[in-house]
Amino acid sequence: MSDPLKLGATIGILGGGQLGRMLAVAAARLGFRTHIFEPGANPPAADVAHAATTAGYDDVAALKAFANAVDVVTYEFENIPTAALDAIESIRPIHPNREALRTSQDRLTEKTFLQGLGLRVAPFADITTTSDLEAALETIGTPSILKTRRFGYDGKGQSRLRSAADAQTALADMAGNPAVLEGFVNFTSEVSVIAARNPSGEIACFDPGENVHRDGILHTTTVPASISAALRTDAVLLAAKILNALDYVGVLGVELFVTPQGFIVNEIAPRVHNSGHWTQNGCTVDQFEQHIRAIAGWPLGDGSRHADVIMENLIGDDMNRVPELAKQNDTALHLYGKAEVKPGRKMGHVNFIKR
Ligand code: AMP
Mean pLDDT of 173-191: 95
Cα 32 to its chain centre, rounded Å, is: 23
Domains and CATH numbers, the chain: 10-94 (3.40.50.20), 123-183 (3.30.1490.20), 189-354 (3.30.470.20)
Confidence grade of residue 3 (pLDDT, cut at 50, 70, 90): confident
pLDDT, one tens digit per residue, over 290-343 is 999 999 999 999 999 999 999 999 999 999 999 999 999 999 999 999 989 999
- What's the 153 CA to ligand 1 centre distance in angstroms? 10
CB contact at 8 A, 53 and 66: yes
Question: In this prediction, what percent of the chain has a pLDDT beyond 70?
Answer: 99
What pLDDT does residue 104 have? 95
pLDDT, one tens digit per residue, over 9-64 is 999 999 999 999 999 999 999 999 999 999 999 999 999 999 999 999 999 999 99
Which atom, in ligand 1's list, is nearest to the CA of 153?
2
For every residue of 312-345, DSSP letters joined together read EEEEGGGGGGHHHHTT-TTEEEEE---SS--TT-
What pLDDT does residue 153 have? 67
pLDDT, one tens digit per residue, over 272-282 is 999 999 999 99
pLDDT, one tens digit per residue, over 96-154 is 999 999 999 999 999 999 999 999 999 999 999 999 999 999 999 999 999 999 987 66
- What's the 155 CA to ligand 1 centre distance in angstroms? 7
> In terms of DSSP H, where are the helices of the chain?
18-29, 60-69, 82-89, 98-105, 107-116, 130-140, 167-173, 229-245, 279-282, 287-295, 322-325
Q: What is the CA radius of gyration of the chain?
A: 20
What pLDDT does residue 144 have? 97
User: Which residue, judged by its Cα, is nearest atom 12 of ligand 1?
Assistant: 213
Torsion from C-alpha of 261, 263, 266, 272, nearest 10 degrees:
170
Length of the chain: 355
Q: How many CA atoms lie within 13 A of 45 on its CB side?
A: 31
Residues lining ligand 1, Cβ inside 6 A: 122, 145, 152, 155, 182, 184-185, 190, 213, 216, 255, 266-267
- What's the 298 CA to ligand 1 centre distance in angstroms? 35
Question: H or E segment at 257?
Answer: strand 250-259
Alpha carbon distances (Å) from 241 to 50, 191, 197, 238, 312: 36, 17, 11, 5, 29
* pLDDT over threshold 70, residue 1: no
CA distance linking residue 255 with residue 150, whole number of Å? 17
CA distance linking residue 142 with residue 136, whole number of Å? 10
Instruction: Choose the residue to mutate in 105, 110, 140, 145 for probing ligand 1, maximizing ligand atoms within 8 Å of C-beta.
Output: 145
**Longest CA span, the chain:** 60
For every residue of 290-301, DSSP letters joined together read HHHHHHTTPPP-
* pLDDT over threshold 70, residue 164: yes
Confidence grade of residue 249 (pLDDT, cut at 50, 70, 90): very high
